[in-house]
Amino acid sequence: MTTTAFHATVTRHRLGIGLLLCALIAVTAGGCHSHSAGLAHQMDRAPGPDWSQPTYARGVVAADHRIGSQAGLDMLRQGGNAVDAAVAAAFCQAVVRPYSCGLGGGGFMVVYLNRNPLGRPVSAALIYRERTPSAVGPEYYVSLGIPDASTIGPDAVGIPGTVAGLLETLDRYGTLDRGIVLQPAIAAARDGFAIDDHYVGACERVIEKLEQHPEWRQRLGEPGFRFLWERFLFSGHPTVGDTLKQPELARTLEMIEKYGASGFYAGPVAAAIIEACPQMTQQDLAAFEVESKQPLKANRLGYRFLAMPLPSSGGVAMLETLRILEHYESVVDHAPGPADPGYAHLLTEAMKHAFADRARWLADDQYASVPLGHLLDNDRVDRLAERFDPARTLDSQDYGSSQITADVIEDAGTSHLSVVDRWGNAAACTETINLEFGSLLCVPEFGLVLNNEMDDFVTDPGQPNAFGLVQSDRNLPEPGKRPLSSMSPTIVLDDAGHVVAVAGASGGPRIISGTLQVLLNGLLFRMSPNQAVAAPRIHHQWLPNTLWFENRWKQGSSDSYDPLIRDLRDRGHAVDWRPDIGNVQLILRAPDGTYGAASDPRKGGEPAGW
């Protein structure tokens, strides 16, 4: 199939998006954007379950917590751009989602500045993923011989990058003063907030693990353990509505406000991090650098995708999957929605190819040779696509190397937010501390929870990591190296350079499949932002050889999912169920230039618009 032919196919889908989005009633936090009665009448005729209305405005923020969205909105109200809003929201997310992200973690941001007060159009991918301490090499964890050393305690911690990344992004592309941007986070830490269902669920899973592993307490140290247990876990009895106040973190943020990055990477904060993590040095912290690259750019489905480059695996995997979908116009064009068996089978097979390539080839390309041009070469991906058998799935070796069985674990250690401002600029920001509450290691005097990002490396060659991902020796740890990531912040443009979608997710490797499917729901299947985010999803990461369905598939009538499950089993897929596949925050553009924003109900976020 040619790209030109597929452009014609997608044009038909685009018309549905515009009509549906124009029909949505505005529900904004901090401002009212009204529509005519005629448009409201069109909404009555829109297909599909309009279960909720998105925030719909000129400038919108979709984070996985309402306080984060509101912080971004405050910056837009004060005349800030998308980057100002993203940085303010990200610092706030570090306060209100301490089990997902924080100052002790790292992240990625894709920025697109089209029309803005700064001048010429800009696209950039900011990489502030954690780096490996200088004392850690390829054999470090094998030689330690300590179970869970790469996930629990000081040896699991990579050099944090969040503070450096957010401040440098603000300096390069923002318009507001650092003090203004940090104020919402400082206030949230100082004054506190009520914890929600998602927070309580994360606490309960960590409490259960601590009860199963009493030996972890010694590894975490008594002061740090008590701070984790009493402050963040509410002494083992978290309840929705409990107030979490973090005065220590507020003081740390105030130091960053006053001194910039040196308020974190030097002085008392740095000394306390080094004391908690003996394998880390002052030089490690002082040498941390933010990397700026061009996003991966590719035309797919009639749109221009700006995806995250290495060491994110998400951009490569998504672009490869989308190219395989393009190859089969007839399957995609005739699918009425994501529950169509032929489409679901094609999407699964495409994801398996992408994840097999991830396992074999991907790593930090500053430290390992990665044939990126070859992996994304259209002819090469088309040859993969031609292996597709519409009647059955293939054997595992047809996608990659020999199979290793592994479980896919629960994860909440990542947070994503999407922003579009009044000028049509956009930012997609994904940050993480890896697993829930990261390494569980705290720095009490400064309110920090430190990441366990080192487990994203190959720490035990030949074995899967905590997410069940098998990876090549290209992803072995080395001093200064960044681990491979699944974080996939993505911005989608039309032919005129206007932002049409911004998306990203949390959820380990399910970030990739979740972000991809939500974008497809909006761009191909004419869904509103909330419908696109709420629709049930699937996930396959090649190994383990399991096709995962969200429990949400069971919430409809049996007629809505039983035929699909039976069909895919008949084609050879091993099917299982899980609670969620990613937590996605989405923005979609309407033809009149306004934007619809939706926060994923799986994590309880709430968008804001102005």
Q: Point out the residues that are catalytic.
A: 414
* Greatest distance between any 2 Cα atoms in the chain: 69
Pairing assessment for the beta strands 291-293 and 243-244 based on DSSP bridges: unpaired
Beta bridge partner(s), residue 107: 128, 431
Report how far residue 69's alpha carbon sits from residue 64's, in angstroms, rounded to the nearest whole number: 8
Is-contact 602 66, C-beta < 8 A? no
- Pick from 325, 331, 318: which is nearest to 515 by CA? 318
User: What is 18-76 written as a DSSP string?
Assistant: HHHHHTPPP--SS------HHHHHHHHT--S---S--EEESSEEEESSHHHHHHHHHHH
Cβ-count burial of 192 within 10 angstroms (0-12 exposed, 13-18 middle, 19+ buried)?
middle
| For helices 510-523 and 341-361, angle between their N-to-C axes, nearest 10 degrees | 140
Return the exposure string of 103-117: e unless at least 16 CB atoms fall within 10 Å of the residue's CB, then b: bbbbbbbbbbbbebe
Cα–Cα distance measured from residue 113 to residue 243, given in angstroms and rounded to the nearest whole number: 38
User: 3-class DSSP state for residue 344?
Assistant: helix
CA distance 507 to 434: 9
Please tell me the distance from the alpha carbon of residue 578 to that of residue 587, in angstroms, as a whole number. Answer: 26
Q: How far is CA 351 from CA 52, 149, 486, 510, 540, in A?
A: 30, 31, 13, 11, 6
Whole-number Å distance between alpha carbons of 391 and 307 = 32
